């Protein structure tokens, strides 16, 4: 082992290891990994290239690089995931927040930025915490059936100091009739076949219960559109992330449940991703 390893050296070694492991953007991931582990920004990494890394930190970085090279997603390795204005704790208890999901928050804030909002399937708490931080809601509730996911959401609530209520429940079973202004959700929506065909970097690490939803991928959404209509007040909204492969099926479910003004919006990659629906006033 060479005696002194600088940030530049660590960056080069991580980049080489990642490239050899077939990681698509090895340099970018190496910078991100070092920044998160050292509690620096990517700009700090660029500016601090000459700094020597202490031996104990070096072992820790080596272990993290090996985990990433073996296929574990970067946010699970570093324990951190960015979502809108937040940096959240991330581990295998919940899905890693995806950039496309951030668009649900913009759509919510544009339609109903105050009142009571419920996030069904809160995972890390990314949607609930962002809504509370960026909106003017009186109350935001994050619901999940997974005790593990809720424990992580609770850690993120404490980490960010943002006040949301967290409830363990099956979909909206804990909510009263016409009690909320907005239901937002990124439910599991992959078919069994899609789940089995996932990249191992997703399938082997992220919780199956956050991804798969029955043979047709619509099990959770089918129940959610019906339950949401009952808990939303007249004139309230449902905003739901959907599988880009079957927007029509999701729209048909919402129409069948009695939602009006249904439309599908594209995500930032131009794929049909968000179902927007309103309850008749």
Ligand X SMILES: C[S@@+](CC[C@H](N)C(=O)[O-])C[C@H]1O[C@@H](n2cnc3c(N)ncnc32)[C@H](O)[C@@H]1O
Tokens (6 digits) for 52: 């020597």
Contact predicate 181/232, CB 8 Å? yes
- Is residue 220 helix, strand or coil? helix
The residues facing 81 across adjacent strands are: 88
Single residue of 108, 116, 117, 126 touching ligand X by CB under 6 A:
126
Q: Is 95 in the site for ligand X (CB under 6 A)?
A: yes
What whole-number distance in Å separates Cα of residue 214 and Cα of residue 159? 34
The region of 39-47, 62-70, 122-130, 250-258 touching ligand X under the rule CB under 6 A is: 122-130
Length of the chain: 281
Q: Please, which residue, 125 or 236, has the CB nearer to ligand X?
A: 125
> Which listed residue (121, 135, 217, 247) binds ligand X by CB under 6 A?
121
* Alpha carbons 1 and 267: distance in angstroms, whole number: 47
Distance between CA 18 and CA 71 in Å, rounded?
10
Q: Which residue's CB is nearer to ligand X, number 14 or number 218?
A: 218
Q: Which of 11, 171, 232, 253 binds ligand X (CB under 6 A)?
A: 171
Tell whether residue 247 is a contact of ligand X (CB under 6 A): no
Tell me if 144 contacts ligand X by CB under 6 A: yes
Query: Any residues with CB less than 8 A from the CB of 38 and at least 6 apart, and which?
Result: 7, 44, 45, 57
Between CA 7 and CA 15 the distance in angstroms is 12
- Window contacting ligand X (CB under 6 A); options: 28-36, 38-46, 66-74, 181-189: 181-189
217 touches ligand X by CB under 6 A: no
Could you give the CA distance from residue 255 to residue 245 in angstroms, rounded to a whole number? Answer: 18
Any contact of residue 227 with ligand X (CB under 6 A)?
no
Alpha-carbon span 21 to 5, nearest angstrom: 22
Stretch that binds ligand X, among 3-11, 19-27, 182-190, 194-202 (CB under 6 A): 182-190
- Select 43 or 197, whichever has its Cβ closest to ligand X: 197
Contact stretch for ligand X (CB under 6 A) within 16-24, 57-65, 185-193, 255-263: 185-193
Binding to ligand X by residue 250, rule CB under 6 A?
Answer: no
Q: Which residue has its beta carbon closest to ligand X?
A: 121
Count of C-beta atoms within a 10 Å radius of residue 3: 6
For ligand X, the binding residues (CB under 6 A) are 94-95, 97, 101, 121-124, 126-127, 143-146, 149, 170-171, 186-188, 209-210, 220
């Amino acid at each position: 082992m060479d005696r002194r390893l600088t940030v530049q050296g660590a960056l080069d070694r991580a980049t080489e290891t990642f490239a050899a492991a077939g990681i698509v953007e090895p340099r970018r991931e190496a910078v991100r990994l070092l920044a998160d582990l050292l509690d620096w920004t990517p700009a700090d990494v660029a500016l601090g290239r000459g700094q020597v890394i202490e031996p104990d930190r070096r072992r820790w970085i080596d272990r993290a690089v090996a985990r990433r090279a073996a296929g574990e997603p970067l946010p699970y390795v570093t324990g951190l995931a960015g979502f809108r204005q937040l940096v959240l704790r991330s581990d295998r208890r919940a899905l890693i927040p995806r950039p496309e999901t951030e668009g649900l928050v913009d759509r919510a804030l544009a339609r109903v930025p105050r009142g009571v909002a419920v996030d069904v399937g809160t995972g890390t708490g990314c949607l609930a915490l962002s809504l509370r931080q960026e909106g003017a809601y009186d109350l935001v509730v994050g619901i999940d059936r997974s005790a593990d996911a809720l424990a992580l959401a609770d850690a993120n609530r404490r980490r960010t100091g943002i006040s949301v209520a967290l409830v363990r429940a099956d979909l909206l079973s804990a909510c009263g009739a016409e009690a909320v202004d907005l239901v937002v959700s990124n439910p599991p929506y992959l078919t069994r076949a899609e789940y089995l065909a996932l990249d191992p970097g997703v399938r082997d690490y992220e919780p199956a219960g956050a991804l798969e939803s029955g043979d047709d991928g619509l099990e959770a959404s089918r129940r959610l559109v019906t339950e949401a209509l009952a808990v939303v007040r007249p004139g309230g909204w449902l905003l739901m992330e959907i599988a880009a492969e079957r927007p029509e099926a999701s729209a048909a479910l919402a129409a069948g449940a009695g939602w009006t003004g249904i439309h599908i919006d594209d995500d930032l990659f131009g794929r049909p991703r968000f179902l927007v629906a309103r309850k008749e006033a």
